[in-house]
Every structure is written in C-alpha cells, then in structure tokens.
Amino acid sequence: MMDENYNFNPRKWHRAAVQLPAQYFIKGLSSRYMDCTIINLSRNGAGVLFPLSEPLKERASIFFELIVPKTFEQLSVRGELKNKNSRKEGLVGGIEFAALLPEDMFGKLA
C-alpha cells in the first residue's frame, strides 16, 4: 500500500509557470527567428508554445533568444525538442536545454 503523503515528482528541477515572449530558430530548417512563448521553465528545460503551422521534428536543435524581464539582459539558449503536443492555441514543445540555466538567471525568469 502506498503512503498517502507520498508526493512523486519525476522532475529533477523545479518548474515554474511563466509567460515569456521569445524568438526561436530551428537549426537546418529556419531561415529567420520566429516568435514563440515560453509557458513553463526549469533550469533544465522549458515548455514552449509555437505557431501551429511549425513543422517541428523531435530531436530538432532549437535556438532561443529572449530579453530577461525588468533588465536589459538578452539570454540565448540552445535546446533539443523532446516531445510535442497540439493545442488549439498552437503547438507545445518540450525542450531540454543543452546546459543548465544558472540558478540566478532562473530566479530572474521564474
């Protein structure tokens, strides 16, 4: 029998719900940066809302650019598409970052 107080969370890093405007570029596919929205964020990855028309392929290498809120800092991160789901407002992709976001940067974004 399982303990009722047991909380199972398979994620290693805390994930925060956010609404961060960003731009993305898909290596080998995009010809320019396009708009997207980061809808959740951890130090290891993000959930990103893409236009529904975007032909995303799992394991695609994607580059993101965003301005850190309330600062003049620009953040550039690279990640890999791990999964995708269609929603009425667009396509949500699960991105795993190539490197961990520094803890202080995560604090500014979350």
Its pTM stands at: 0.85
64 CB contacts (<8 Å, ≥6 apart)?
Answer: 22, 23, 24, 36, 38, 46, 48, 75, 76, 77, 78, 79, 95
pLDDT tens digit string along 13-66? 788 999 999 999 999 888 899 999 999 999 999 999 998 777 788 899 999 999
Contact 94, 84 (CB under 8 A): yes
pLDDT beyond 80 at 84: yes
* Percent of the chain's residues with pLDDT above 90: 66
Residue ranges of domains in the chain, CATH in brackets: 16-109 (2.40.10.220)
Nearest to 50 by CA among 96, 86, 101, 97: 86
pLDDT for res 14: 81
Between CA 74 and CA 103 the distance in angstroms is 16
